[in-house]
Amino acid sequence: MAARYIDFGFKQVDAGRVAEMADSETMMFKMDKEKENEARNIIFSVYQALKEKGYNPINQIVGYILSGDPTYITNHMNARSIVRRLERDELLEEIVRYYLENKK
């Protein structure tokens, strides 16, 4: 039987392996502190560039993270080049971390 794949946008994962792993173990994902700070700075600078150009920064950043299409990010202030310095999952991790740590 051919393997079924699930496309999470970041990479393809074998659907059978995902189900198997879900039952037996938890995968660990960890980003080092330097990357964490870089991700935070990138997100805030891209946000500012999008805002200055009159875009809805939240919608544009979400569009980029979900699709991987850099045209969601303006070239203003070199934001499109800056956002591509990190993988989208690293940016997403920082967004989730920031949200959860600052949620009161």
Tens-place pLDDT, residues 53-83: 999 999 999 999 999 999 999 999 999 999 9
The domain limits of the chain are 33-102
Q: Exposed (0-12), middle (13-18) or buried (19+): which is 64, by Cβ within 10 Å?
A: buried
pTM equals 0.69
Among 7-16, 49-58, 86-95, the range with the most confident prediction by mean pLDDT is: 49-58
List, for residues 28-46, the tens digit of each pLDDT value.
766 676 777 899 999 999 9
Residue 11's pLDDT band, with cuts at 50, 70 and 90, is very low
Give the per-residue pLDDT at 26.
Answer: 78
* End-to-end Cα distance, the chain: 49
